[in-house]
Structure 1
Amino acid sequence: MPSPRVSRFFDQVDQAEFAFCRMINSSLRFRPVTMLFQVVSRLGDGWLWYALILSLPLMYPDEGLAIALLMTGAGLTCTLTYKCLKRTLVRERPFISFPVIHCGTPPLDRYSFPSGHTLHAVCFTTVLALTLPALALVVLPFTLAVAASRVVLGLHYPSDVLAGALVGGVMGVVWVALGAGPLLAWFGTVAAG
């Protein structure tokens, strides 16, 4: 249960973001927009990232396995972090707080702060940007679409998405700083030996 102070803060922020959320969410009137963001959201559940992680060793034989392991560790840390934050901060999703905002796809859990989809997408893209920059440029449009989908589908406030992006970016940098050197060195030694 969040403190009364946290609840009051989120109530104020929710009210401030309501009009923008409603405007963005109104694009669901257009079936192609709904379908596009539903697909992006579903792929952002993890499916695209799992496929990418599994394919890295095939695409990049020298460093792919090390980067795949790095992304796996970062992803697990992201999951633990956002679940802990959601349970602690307990911010209701926009479509729950404001019934005029339509839910474009079923959420994976009840609470909205921070956006776990955005957190993972930005973390993985950050890891790639620091290890395989060309591949990061390829996935960047998907990452931006995932972030946008969260507000369009009525699942998150913009501040949820921003918080997820900040936390994910920091986690990606930390994982690369702490793990990339040792993993790449170890796999380089194994490959050479």
Structure 2
Amino acid sequence: MQAWLRHLNELEVSVCRLWSRSGQRRWIRYPFAFISRLGDGVFWYSLMAALPLVYGLKGLQASLHMLATGGIALLLYKSLKGVTRRSRPCHHASDITALVPPLDQYSFPSGHTLHAVVFSSVAIYYFPVLAWILVPFTALIALSRIILGLHYPSDVLMATLIGLGLAYASLSAFI
């Protein structure tokens, strides 16, 4: 691993320990595990299916836009994970437990957060009324990844920035 990533891991691991300890409480762990599970795709695919039913052609356009941008996000985050190969907090420190099984080996960036930001940003562009549910849901997904011991705060922060950049670029290209 690159020296700068080792240093960053050491800077952030104390925050990860603290948040992971809070996740040991069942009343915190179960809701965040559920939110994280919804962020695996269930919520987003359901939203993409519902938009055309509720909003017609504009909903279909939004869903296709979300699908295309999500595909680009998938390629981007898998490439970044392969390049950085940053270990997850639960693999870096023995006192941090993964409270749900990780979907892959590496930590940077958070794919859940990246997709949540991209999908929410695109959906809110088309339908601003959805912001009241999508913004808090996206924030909870991002928090869940740290609380569940799977990501460092910088994984989530960078995924948010990358997701916003990708959403903005896609809106410039598609609209």
TM-score interval, normalised by the smaller of the two chains:
over 0.9
Structure 2: which 5+ runs fail to align? none
**Structure 2 counterpart of 1:11, which letter?**
R
**Which residue pairs with 1:136 in the alignment?**
131
TM-score after normalising by structure 1: 0.88
**Structure 2 counterpart of 1:80, which letter?**
L
**Which residue pairs with 1:154 in the alignment?**
149
SS at match of 1:75: helix
**Which residue pairs with 1:90 in the alignment?**
85
**Structure 1 residue 55, shift from structure 2 partner:** 0.7
Relative to structure 2, which stretch is displaced further, 123-132 or 105-114?
123-132
CA distance in 2, matches of 1:72, 1:51: 12
1:114, 1:160 within 8 Å by CA — same for their partners in 2?
yes
CA distance in 2, matches of 1:75, 1:88: 20
**Structure 1 counterpart of 2:26, which letter?**
R
- 1:33 and 2:40 matched: no
List aligned pairs for 1:167-178, cutoff 5 A: 167-178=162-173
- 1:81 and 2:81 matched: no
Question: Whose Rg is larger?
Answer: 1
**Structure 1 residue 57, shift from structure 2 partner:** 0.2
CA distance in 2, matches of 1:137, 1:125: 11
Q: In structure 2, which of residues 26, 51, 67 is the aligned counterpart of residue 72 of structure 1?
A: 67
**Structure 1 residue 32, shift from structure 2 partner:** 1.4
1:129, 1:137 within 8 Å by CA — same for their partners in 2?
no
Q: Once superposed, what is the RMSD of the aligned Cα atoms?
A: 1.0
**Structure 2 counterpart of 1:21, which letter?**
C
List aligned pairs for 1:95-114, cutoff 5 A: 95-114=90-109
**Structure 1 residue 141, shift from structure 2 partner:** 1.1
1:118, 1:164 within 8 Å by CA — same for their partners in 2?
yes
Consecutive aligned runs of 4 or more in structure 1 exceeding 6 Å deviation: none
**Structure 1 residue 166, shift from structure 2 partner:** 0.5
**Which residue pairs with 1:115 in the alignment?**
110
> Residues 73-132 of structure 1: CA distance to partner in whole angstroms, max 9, x if unpaired?
000000000000001110000000101011110000000000000000011111122221
**Which residue pairs with 1:126 in the alignment?**
121
CA distance in 1, matches of 2:41, 2:16: 24
Equivalenced residue count is 175
SS at match of 1:112: coil
**Structure 1 residue 136, shift from structure 2 partner:** 2.5
CA distance in 2, matches of 1:123, 1:113: 16
